[in-house]
Every structure is written in structure tokens, then in C-alpha cells.
Structure 1
Amino acid sequence: MDDRLQNAPVGVLVASLDGTLTALNEVAQSLVDLTDDATGSPLAEIFPRSVEDSLLVAFEGDSVTETSFQEYYPELERWLDISVAATDEDVTIYLQDVTQQKRYEQSIEQLRTERKRTAVIEDVLSEILAELVGATSREEIAETICRSLGDADIYEFAWVGEREIGSDDLVIHAVGGDADETFVAIRDALDDDTARTLEERAVKSGHLQSAQPLADNPRVPESVWTAGFADGVQSALAIPLVYGSNVHGVVGVYAAGTEAFSDRERTTFKTLGEVAGFAVTAARNRNLLLSDTVAELTFEVGDSSFLSQLSQSLDSTVLLEGMVPHGDDALLCFVSVEDTDVEAVEDAAAGIEEIVDTRTVRESESGGTVELTIQGSTPLLAISSLGGTVRRANFESGTGQIVVELPPDGDVRRIADTVSRDYDMEFVAKEERERSVTTAREFRDALNDRLTERQRTVLQTAYLADYFESPRGSNAEEVAASLNITGSTLLHHLRAGQRKLLDAYLDEAPHPSEEH
């Protein structure tokens, strides 16, 4: 090899026409991990192998084929750019390391692909979220999700399951896309007590579960990843349908690539699970609101409930007056206590894990009302998440009873079994009752009967004077001056009138202190 080739900035190999190495420079030695001792050996024995083996192919046939190519060599962990130039006497092979360039190109291509996938995903999820807003049933929600995800080119198939009545087993509600044998394997695994699918793990934990690729994840049943390999399915994502602390069901999404779900996609799918969980709850609440009949379920509550513990600690009767959701997994519960100093409630609540704060609302000689901030999983929050309404709840000396109102459909048994299974509660009775239908005129007439003439006058004047607007068009002093009454009298009548309006809206009995 002449000095010009020996000192070239690229790797140079010289071989005979039959493929025997005759010379190489130092750059070539470094690139392909060879030494001077390699000379005299066939290239087929000493040159690293690639998938295509294009260099060795060039020496096949009656003559050497001049060619240029780029290939990855796993043994070297490098991409090499190779050019083959032949003469009548020998063959010169030029080598150049292009690993950094290929990695840069791959990164650019990966970003382009992710950008395209993100655009598709956002379009699909936007379509799903738009349709979920108007969904009126669990079945419609499941079909919407499966249809949209199953029709998307970037996914193979999707399915939606829901917890079976009385257990953590999953019942399939809908499936979309080309499921083939993989879905059959998933369905069989759901019935196999010795295997646990990603979807079952997602429902159990309430968190996303992923497997990329399926075959490398020990949590995926062998039958599922084997079927996936045959179908070309290599990635899976299980998204729980969550609302508050309750998991309604799960969405399983399956794709062809080994890394089909990026961090950004998983975050987006988590949002889908939360919105779908909210939609399920909203559909149940809508059914309760529009139903002509309701089912009342009565549960006996054991001593593990925070209200049972509170009544036992106080040795008093505790009544739940109402509750308001406060964030994803918290409630504001308003309870009244009898024959107990309300200050004792704070001391008793300090030893109960679920109660994180207390505040006295009203105090009297015989007891009072206290606001409790409840954090974590409780039957009250679960009932609300499942579409039920707690109508009455009373506790005494460590035990209690809760009456829940539900729409009279298939959810009644499901919710009863779910609450009984997950909490220290026993379902003891069910009663269906007709709901009276009240027209807007009848509602106004009923309010007129409750309000005194002075309360109606004060409310109407304040309303027309934009007292209730923000910012206010008139303040309390200005409205009071219009009625020739004092500001304190105005506020007294406003509070009394507003209380009666809220009593009518929230279906509560009139407060005894505001009957006049």
C-alpha cells in the first residue's frame, strides 16, 4: 500500500480479486478491529458481519461488483460507509465511520414520526372527548372509545372492560380494530385465575400499565405475547377509567411498534382515562336526575367507618347533614351531634385517619353542626363516584346506617356489590319509589308558599338592583335605603329568603330558625 493510502483520513483495505486481504491502513485497523496479522486471510473470515453482508456479496460472482453502501455492524456497534473500487489487479475498499451522522438522522426521523403520531393521537382523542361530552350510557362511552382508537392507523385494536359485579374480574364491553388472535388470548387470560393481564393490573392499581415490547415484560401472560408476536402486536397500554378514588373500568390499546407509546402519549391517555371516568359518572348522575323512579338502598355500616368511629368516640348520635366533593379524593361532610359539646368533636377527630380538618359551623346547648374535611377512600366518596346520592346517614355508638338513592337500572346491583365488597358495609334493603314530577310553575308556587311577602319583596328588589351580580350594581346599604329599612334588616330577610330557596333546590326541610 502506498503512503498516500496508508496516511489517508479514512480506512483503506486492499484485497485480491478472490477476496483475500493484502493490506490495510491504521484507520481501517481501528474501525474494524483488525491487526496487521489479518493480511493473507479471506475477508469472509475476518471482516465483521452485518445483516445484509453487502461487502461479501460484492465479491460473489465472476467479477467484483463496484458499489457503495451504509450498513450497521452490531459487533462494532458502528455504522460504516463503504465504497468498493475494483481494477484488473486488486480491489480497494474505503471505510468511513458515519455512526454519529446516522444517529442524528435517526433522531430527526424519530422526532418527525413522533410529531406525526402526536398529531394523529390528538385528533383521535379530540374526537373521543367531544363525543364523550354527549354520551348517555356506559355502553355508548365504550363504543366511542373503541371505534375511534380501533380505526386509527397507528393502533391495531382497542377494547374496554368493566369490573364484574361482586368481584375484580373484568367484563368486556366493546372492542374495535383488527383484534385477531391477540384479543382472543386476552379474553382467555381474563378467565384464567393463574394469569393477570395488564388491564387487570390497571384496574387494581388505578394507574397506567404499559408493556413495550410485550415479550420482554414479565407481567404479560405468555399466551398474550405469543399471540401478539404472531399478529405483529408488540406494545400495549392499559388505561384505567378513573373518577375520584373509584375505577370504573379500563381501556386496553395495542400497537405494532416495540415502543409505540411515548411519555407524552401516556400522559395524554391518562387524561383520556380521567375524562372517560368522569363521563361514566356523569351518565349515571344524569340517569338519576332524569329517572321517574328511584331505588333506595339501605346499608348497615360497621365500626371501621370514620363516622362510626366518631360516634363511638363521642358516645353520641352523629347525623350526616350533607356533603360536598372537594377535589379528586376529598369531601366536606357536614355532621350534627347531639348531647355533645362540639369542641369534643375536634378532639375525637384527631385520632381518626380520614378526618384531616374540622370546623364548627353552629353550636347550641344540645350539640351543634361541624364541618369535617375527609381525605382518602371512603364509602361516601365511592357512592358519589358511582352515581349515587346519600339521602340519609346516621351513626350511634360505633355503628350506622346509610340510605343511598340510585337510578333503578342495572347499576343498582353493581353499586351495592361494589360498596359492600370494598367497605365495611352490608346491603340490607332496597325500595323503589315514584318521583313526583314538578313543573316550573309548580316549583315557583311552592316557593311562594314558603317565602313571606317581605322576603319576596327584598329578594326581588335586590335581584333587580343587581345586588347579586359581580361586580354589584348596588350594595346592601343602597338596596336597604330603597326599601326604607336598615341594612341589618335587609341582610336578615335576604338570608332567610336565600335559605328557603336553597332548601327547595336541595330538597331539604325548612330550617326551624327561619320559618318567619
Structure 2
Amino acid sequence: MGSGHELAATALDTLPITVAIIDDEGEIQFTNQSWSEFESAERDDEHIGSNYLAAAVTADDEYAQQAVDGIEAVLAGDRDSFSMEYPCHSPDEKRWFLMRVTRFPHDGQRLASLVHLEITERKLAELAAEANAEQVQKERQALEHVLERVDGLVRTVTDAAVGAETRTEIEHDVCRRLAATDPYVLAWIGRVDVTNRRLSPREWASDDDVPLEDDNLVLDADGAHPAVQALERDDAQVIADVTAHDAADRLWPRGAGDYFQSVAALPLTYGDVTYGVLVVFADEPDAFDERELLVLDSLSGTVATAMNALEVRRMLTTEAVIAVDVAIEDPSLFVTALSATFDATVSYRGLTEADDGTPLVVLHVDRTLEDDAVDETGIAHDVTILSTTDDGTLLEVATTDGLVTALSEHGAVIRKLIVTDGVADLAVDLPDGRSARSAYDLLERRYDRVELLSYYERDEPAQTPHDVTARLESSLTDRQLMALRKAYYANYFEWPRDISGEELAESMDISRSTFHQHLRAAQRKVLAELFD
């Protein structure tokens, strides 16, 4: 039996748990090695023979009292066992233990085993799970609140945008409804003045007395403002905390944080056309999280779509066009390169297409050129001489990515394009403001220096190539239309003629008689459209 007790004691010493045996008075009779090491680390006095219950009672701790009550109930025979979990934190770390008390008889004595098992890892996992569950619940509640608020916001802003009759009405109603929605306190929509490169708030609304920002924003100078960044980067921009932003004092007057603490700016874009920028202010920091920006981005798209619909409707019912005159200085512009190569003035005559659909630009050079002069230009375009007269040379340039074709894709009608001394003077008519803005942005992106000379609305529109083609495409074949355009652009109908029918036929790689057949058929159909 003695050897059995020694074997049991040795085995208990190997277990990663603390074990003690107490008698019915609470006095410690035996401990394993883990208990001894733990107790020695906690206090210096000898634990064998000490009273466990007396030591526990002195601890001013609710867990200690709970443990004493449980142990006494087991020793008194009121229950066979007792267990509890309790914290036992040190200054360096948090720890939790599971205590289990079990009564057993030995040699006529009533004894109890006390086992303490560390459960820190399990407890930390449980606490983390509880925290996650609480966080998930909070996020669910916040999401439900956001969805409820957003649903109403989307409905009311969409109704305002779709139901408006004018662009100003859209801007006014959208700002008013945004400013009336918590946590927003101010909203404004700005438009770009192409002439002086300023972004100007056109319509705004605020909650209570939140002031509108002062003055207009100069696009090149106010790059720190989120509205300017949103416009130039074509993406939403956010200042999460105005009071901590480096440029806040420059962008807004001191005390602005008393009115708003975060700002979001979103471009109003439909396709490749930007109508302006929507700026929203909130009275709390970090108001524009990812979900909020998704909603606002969707709303800005709805507003831009509504503005586009109004522009299209206006285009169908008005006779006005936007006239834009610019000066372009960039040696990479192919007409400028031609002018520099030939040391001559180059002017635009018109645009047609080859059989394969390649755009063909007809240009006039105010000097006589030989074939070898064109061959030696080194310009990355297919340049052909159509005719040569005392007044100059008529060229045909095949290009798919030039200025003329790009403007044509934006609905522009070129009134004038003349290049002299490295400067291209360009005058175009565009169907509406959005097309004008889009075309001007295209020029600024492509070329080194673009100077806006004038920008105004004309009541008498120029007839667009699309208008002519649409009326005649049902009767003119591609070859007939090409022959007619080439003859017109090359001054074939002038007297004396700048070009012969044979030269035009050669440019189309057909015989002279075939060219005249196409031309006469086209003339007959045009006259029938005019007189019938």
C-alpha cells in the first residue's frame, strides 16, 4: 500500500494540474508538485498543514467566498462535489482556473481533493467569441439603421432627380433632401466654368445655420479641396475628420468644425461626361464609410443620369449650339506637324471615309508640293496629294486617332481649323454643354497647351454631318457619298476647278468614267432630296 501511495504521488507530480487534499477542517494534508510550485510563487509560507479554508476566507473576493461555501458543503456531506471557474490575474497576464472539489473517505477520515486546472486559453476564446457576437449584433443593428435610412434617402433623392424639369431644379431638390437627412448638415452641387477654370457652387442647402463655403474654387490652385480632387480624379474623395486635416484652416474658416466634421465629394458623371460635383458635409467624423460612399456614389450616378436625360430632351427641342474657339500649341498635332514640315499654312477642308471605314481628312496647304515632299515628311500618317494648283496643294490624310476624328465622335462640327506658325486655331460647334465640356477635356488631355478663346451659345446651329448623312443614307451608296464628299472638299465644283475628275478617280482607285457615274448619281439624289 505504501508503494501504491508513493506511485500515486509520483504520478500526480507529472500532471499539469494543481492538486491538494484537505481534511474535514480544511487543513491541507497533501499537494502535488504543481501545487507546491504555484503556491511558492504566490506566497512564501509553508502550505502543508495550513488551513485552506481559513486562507480563502481572509481574501476579500466574491470568488473566494463562493469557493469556501462550495468546499464546506462538500465536506459537510451536503453535496458530493463542487466546481467553479474563477479569475486569478497576475500583474503581467490574465489567467482563469477551473476548481473542482470531490469528497472521498480514507482510513475513517472524510477528505476532499482540490483540483485547479488552468483554462486561460479556453476563457480567452470564449470572451473573444462573446465580443465578436456583440460586435456582430451591433453591426447588424447599425446596418439595419443604415438600410432604413438609406432606403428613404435613395427614394427621396431619386424622386427629386427623376421628377425635375430643369437641371437647376434637380440640383436644388437633391441638395435640400440630402441636407435634411442625418447626419448630413450641408450639401452643394458645383459646376465647372470652362472659361475661367473655376468650380462654382450652383445650388446648396443646409441644416440650421451651417454656412456655405466662401468664394469659388480655382481648379489649379485649390487641389487640396475634395471637390476639386473628385472632379480631376473622377472618383469619390473623403475627409474623415476636418479638425485633423492638414489643409482644413486653408479650405474652411476657423470654427468650421463646430458645424461639420467630415466631408465627401463625388463627381456627377454619365459616361465620359462630367456634369459637376456633389459635396456633402456631416456633423460627425468618419460619417462616410464604405457603405455610405456606395450609397452616395449610386445617388450621384442617378443625378447625372437625370441631368443627361434633360440635356438630351433639350437637344431635341432647341436650335442652339455651343460654339468653342481654342488655340492649340503642340508639335505632335498632325496638322501642326504638317505645317512645320512644309513651312506653310494648313487648313481643314472636310472629312470622309475610305472603303474600309478609315477616316480621310482633306487638308489644304498654301504652297505647291511635289510627291517626293510628301514622301519625305516622316509623319506617322498616310498622306496623299489629291491635286496641285497655283493656290496650293490638296492633301488627303488617313488617320484613325487624330484631332478631327476625335472631335467628330463628340458630335462636333468643325467651323475652322487653320495652323500657322505652330499654332492651330480651332473653332467648333457642339450640340450641348456636356459635349462642349467633354470635347474641351479631350483637348486638354491630349495636347500640351490649349487656350480657350471663346465659349458661347449660338441660336443658329451649324448643320452636322450626321444630319446630312441621316437624310441621304437610304439613297446614297458608300461610293457615291465618298465621290460627292471628295469632289466638294477638293473644290471640284468651283471654276476654275482645283482638281480634275481624273485625279479624284485616281484617289478612289477607280476609272474616270466610274467616278463620274458615282458623282452624277449622288448629285441626282441630293437634288431629289432638295426639290422633291
Q: CA deviation at 1:106?
A: 1.4
**Pair 1:391-2:391 in alignment:** no
Counterpart Cα distance in 1 of 2:312 and 2:449:
22
Counterpart Cα distance in 2 of 1:21 and 1:225:
58
Judged with a 3 Å threshold, the aligned counterparts in structure 2 of structure 1 residues 137 and 390 are, in CA distance, closer, same or farther, namely farther
Counterpart Cα distance in 2 of 1:512 and 1:265:
62
Deviations 1:195-234 (A, max 9, x none): 9532233334433210223333334347859746434x43
Residue from 503, 523, 527 that aligns with 1:515 = 523
**Pair 1:249-2:276 in alignment:** yes
Deviations 1:342-375 (A, max 9, x none): x97999665xxxxxxx799x9967643534236x
Corresponding residue of 1:482 = none
Counterpart Cα distance in 2 of 1:99 and 1:16:
33
Counterpart Cα distance in 1 of 2:270 and 2:444:
19
Q: CA deviation at 1:424?
A: 1.9
**Pair 1:110-2:134 in alignment:** no
Structure 1 length-normalised TM: 0.51
Q: Report the secondary structure of 1:146's partner residue.
A: helix
Q: Report the secondary structure of 1:30's partner residue.
A: coil
Stretches of structure 2 lacking an aligned partner (at least 5 in a row): 1-18, 22-34, 36-55, 68-83, 96-122, 388-393, 486-492, 494-517, 525-532
Identity of paired residues, percent?
Answer: 19
Q: CA deviation at 1:423?
A: 5.0
Judged with a 3 Å threshold, the aligned counterparts in structure 2 of structure 1 residues 436 and 367 are, in CA distance, closer, same or farther, namely closer
Q: CA deviation at 1:499?
A: 8.6
Is the contact between residue 118 and residue 265 of structure 1 (CA under 8 Å) also seen in structure 2?
Answer: no
Corresponding residue of 1:158 = 187
Corresponding residue of 1:302 = 329
Q: How does 1:315-464 map to 2 (within 5 A)?
A: 315=342, 317=346, 319=348, 321=350, 335-337=361-363, 350=380, 367-368=395-396, 370-373=398-401, 389-396=412-419, 398-405=422-429, 423-427=449-453, 432=458, 434=460
Corresponding residue of 2:246 = 218
Counterpart Cα distance in 1 of 2:271 and 2:233:
13
Residue from 284, 291, 296 that aligns with 1:269 = 296
Q: CA deviation at 1:286?
A: 4.7
Residue from 198, 201, 225 that aligns with 2:226 = 198
Q: Which amino acid aligns with 1:28?
A: P
Judged with a 3 Å threshold, the aligned counterparts in structure 2 of structure 1 residues 201 and 426 are, in CA distance, closer, same or farther, namely closer
Judged with a 3 Å threshold, the aligned counterparts in structure 2 of structure 1 residues 120 and 408 are, in CA distance, closer, same or farther, namely closer
Counterpart Cα distance in 2 of 1:170 and 1:399:
28
Residue from 234, 257, 260 that aligns with 2:261 = 234
Q: Which amino acid aligns with 1:211?
A: I
Stretches of structure 1 lacking an aligned partner (at least 5 in a row): 8-13, 37-80, 82-94, 325-331, 351-357, 438-442, 460-492, 503-509
Counterpart Cα distance in 2 of 1:199 and 1:383:
31
Q: Which amino acid aligns with 1:171?
A: S
Q: Which amino acid aligns with 2:450?
A: D
Judged with a 3 Å threshold, the aligned counterparts in structure 2 of structure 1 residues 418 and 496 are, in CA distance, closer, same or farther, namely closer
Q: CA deviation at 1:237?
A: 0.8
CA RMSD, Structure 1 to Structure 2 (Å): 6.2
Deviations 1:365-414 (A, max 9, x none): 7643534236xxx89979987xx8433342445433322336899x999x
Is the contact between residue 159 and residue 173 of structure 1 (CA under 8 Å) also seen in structure 2?
Answer: yes
Deviates more, 1:196-205 or 1:122-131: 122-131
How many equivalent pairs are there? 379
Q: CA deviation at 1:139?
A: 1.4
Counterpart Cα distance in 1 of 2:154 and 2:375:
48
Counterpart Cα distance in 2 of 1:17 and 1:269:
59
Judged with a 3 Å threshold, the aligned counterparts in structure 2 of structure 1 residues 278 and 156 are, in CA distance, closer, same or farther, namely same
Counterpart Cα distance in 2 of 1:127 and 1:512:
59
Deviations 1:313-367 (A, max 9, x none): 664846374699xxxxxxx9763345798x97999665xxxxxxx799x996764
Is the contact between residue 169 and residue 200 of structure 1 (CA under 8 Å) also seen in structure 2?
Answer: no
Q: Which amino acid aligns with 2:277?
A: V
Q: CA deviation at 1:162?
A: 2.2
Counterpart Cα distance in 2 of 1:261 and 1:135:
27
Judged with a 3 Å threshold, the aligned counterparts in structure 2 of structure 1 residues 306 and 229 are, in CA distance, closer, same or farther, namely same
Counterpart Cα distance in 2 of 1:429 and 1:494:
37
Q: Which amino acid aligns with 1:141?
A: I
Corresponding residue of 2:89 = 30
Q: CA deviation at 1:143?
A: 1.5
Residue from 176, 181, 185 that aligns with 2:205 = 176
Structure 2 length-normalised TM: 0.50
Counterpart Cα distance in 2 of 1:188 and 1:198:
15
Q: CA deviation at 1:279?
A: 4.9
Counterpart Cα distance in 2 of 1:423 and 1:33:
67
Judged with a 3 Å threshold, the aligned counterparts in structure 2 of structure 1 residues 101 and 334 are, in CA distance, closer, same or farther, namely farther
Q: CA deviation at 1:238?
A: 0.8
Is the contact between residue 287 and residue 407 of structure 1 (CA under 8 Å) also seen in structure 2?
Answer: no
Residue from 129, 148, 173 that aligns with 1:144 = 173
Counterpart Cα distance in 2 of 1:29 and 1:178:
54
Q: Which amino acid aligns with 1:312?
A: S
Is the contact between residue 15 and residue 21 of structure 1 (CA under 8 Å) also seen in structure 2?
Answer: no
Q: Which protein is bigger by CA-based radius of gyration?
A: 2
Deviations 1:28-63 (A, max 9, x none): 343875899xxxxxxxxxxxxxxxxxxxxxxxxxxx
Q: CA deviation at 1:252?
A: 1.1
Counterpart Cα distance in 1 of 2:173 and 2:163:
11
Judged with a 3 Å threshold, the aligned counterparts in structure 2 of structure 1 residues 392 and 305 are, in CA distance, closer, same or farther, namely farther
Q: CA deviation at 1:289?
A: 4.6
Is the contact between residue 311 and residue 395 of structure 1 (CA under 8 Å) also seen in structure 2?
Answer: no
Is the contact between residue 183 and residue 284 of structure 2 (CA under 8 Å) also seen in structure 1?
Answer: no
Is the contact between residue 262 and residue 283 of structure 2 (CA under 8 Å) also seen in structure 1?
Answer: yes
Deviations 1:147-193 (A, max 9, x none): 33223345333221223564444322222341633xx2x51386898
Deviations 1:459-500 (A, max 9, x none): 6xxxxxxxxxxxxxxxxxxxxxxxxxxxxxxxxx65579999
Residue from 124, 130, 153 that aligns with 1:101 = 130
Counterpart Cα distance in 2 of 1:146 and 1:164:
20
Q: How does 1:57-72 map to 2 (within 5 A)?
A: none
Counterpart Cα distance in 2 of 1:226 and 1:429:
37
